Chain A
């Protein structure tokens, strides 16, 4: 899933680099650093992760309500509201993908809601059958019949060619059960961080201090850095590069709504949220830890993140079109992401190993 060229070399380099540091640190900054190490974990947990999952939980309720309204009255207005609710929820989810570790991967919440592609053949058979399409039927169905993308297909058709009147009664029933299932998944994800028995937020915040998941703070910091590196690679070298190399619009994710570029950009905004420790509310981020010991590295990471995010705006067509006729702009985004990934993997990760040892 992830490449790590020079992994061994970077460990050796950082051993050699240990010396320099102490000369630069006054006692105050050392104390600041120690305090900050804990604050960053607390803020990441409360202000980024839990806040993000709370928003996702709320957004799934909003999507459900909008679909409920559409189900009761198939007007174009209600369809538009539902599409907006779907995109809003997508924004939150894609940003939460900036930290895909913990229950979201351990309990398979991710594939339960975000499996692609949609299985048209099975969907058609399912809709044409006498299956009651209750929530339990959906929850027993294969992954490619669940989650965001079948709802997207029903709401948007191809690039928004769906009309409210053309959504069949069976599709509406299916859509409501999908939304209920999605709501349940998002709520379970939120509870996995905030409530017993799992209470993952506690495991992160108490890392190196009683956490049964992370014996050292370094472990959870590495998990966080690994997760932002992974999403950077996933977007630049997976979601974008595969259709780009193949020049094949058929393998682009989120094609029904034309939302792919927004999805990718939100993934990287999610990465930025994690690094800066802020989502809606300001917190202390990894950036401040890095800045205390290596200002140049922090500047570099921040500017590379900003460059990557803004370069998405130059891709003005749907992504599945851009891979054919805006190849230069797409290539620039992928180059920016590759540069950022290299910095995260070869400079930020060694920085963490060197500076957070407890």
Chain B
């Protein structure tokens, strides 16, 4: 007992001394590199790695997360239905989870029950909000499935042609370049259009990305490439259909969506044909197959908000093997090749006192959320607000090493053309051309180290 008192006494005194010291910069070594999501990190490397709630949610928040979880997995059906009605009349899939497999990335096929690839369509013009104009009769997206009695707007045939890349050491990698062909269009197309393929991305960690201060993201931009490193990067500014104003774009593969809730409402609307308080008219509004039921909005606000909260509160999986020598070497190379100029390893989130798990967190998203010219090889020639046909948003790399766990067969890049991370690297062009070239010039051992590092994310 006495001893305990003494210990407590010493502890108290030393605590008192500590309290008198001024705050110092916390050294970089003091952080645990595994904590990709800061406090909102989860230790799981199984197929469920992307599916965990952030720790420390209040009972009420956890309940909202659980409701959103159930709704995310829920199959919707044709109206009128006692529950979960409103699907279609044209759509791409029947639930969120159908495309975002295990809350992760999807499968690059279109129109089948397990397909996760959709196609935006537009003329080169803009609509009244500065976004893509879409196509008469089709809107902004090809819905390639329909409820019974209606016709899918079109089917997209996907074929690939092989291109071989050969390293100096003779090692060869086969890349596959996709060709997309519209078939069985339900009404004739008139005029020119561009198709933009979009593969469902992972949905974890979005609360953290949403909470990065706009000023931080804008500070990463270097639109005129003032530092001459070949990398510019610029923010997209897009229309927020909920707040009815122009805002920084963060989500979507061209940073074409400003907030999680508009992303969720947009997906219900365009991908499932379900109206909400944000998108009140059917995706087929004004088209030949529009349903004239007076049941809008079909999605209750409670479900919309629960699903938005669900994805905002999904934790980020921890890194593995961070002390492995090869992984460390790979990380050094990643930085030396300037990959980290866009795939920012460390970003600090803003303060949000209502949501401690995402507030003021040091996260490792490996993205700057900016648009970059990725070269002709990846171009879709489709404009999306400020993003031009060669620009894509830097994909966050956190969790990328777990895709083969969460997806069975992993696919990479905006349209899933890459089957390995190595193929994905080799597709980089435009602003990333110099970094890609440096990767190609690495020895086989060093290339393996880079891939091993990516696998640890």
Contacts and interface: CB of A to CB of B under 8 A. Distances in A.
Contact of A117 (B35, B47, B77, B80): B77
A209 to B, nearest CB: 18
Contacts of B43: 4, 7-8, 11
Nearest to B47: A101
Which of A8, A223, A226 has most chain B Cβ within 10 Å?
Answer: A8
Interface in B379-411: 407-409
A105 B42 contact: no
Interface string B71-111: 00101011111111001000000100010011100000000
A125 interface: yes
A5 interface: yes
B156 to A, nearest CB: 16
Nearest to A214: B405
Contact of A1 (B62, B73, B77, B94): B73
Given A5-B53, A103-B408, A125-B149, 6 more contacts: A7-B52, A105-B47, A111-B114, A121-B81, A142-B147, A143-B113
Contacts of B148: 122, 125-126, 129, 131, 141, 145
B409 A121 contact: no
5 contacts: A1-B48, A4-B44, A7-B41, A122-B77, A226-B47
Interface in A221-241: 222-223, 226, 230, 237-238, 241
A144 B87 CA distance: 11
B83 A115 contact: no
A129 B168 CA distance: 62
Interface string A134-162: 00000001111100000000000000000
Nearest to B103: A1
Given A116-B75, A125-B149, A142-B94, A219 B45 contact: yes
B277 interface: no
B56 A143 contact: no
Contacts of A144: 75, 77, 94
B13 interface: no
Of A3, A5, A115, A242, chain B has the most CB atoms within 10 Å of the CB of A3
A122 B147 contact: yes
Interface residues on B, range: 35 or more
Nearest to A9: B55
B212 interface: no
Contacts of A223: 46-47
Contact of A3 (B46, B52, B82, B94): B52
A112 interface: yes
Contact of B114 (A8, A108, A131): A108
Given A119-B81, A122-B147, A7 B51 contact: no
Given A4-B315, A230-B48, A107 B408 contact: yes
Given A4-B55, A125-B149, A117 B83 contact: yes
Interface in A79-103: 101, 103
A20 interface: no
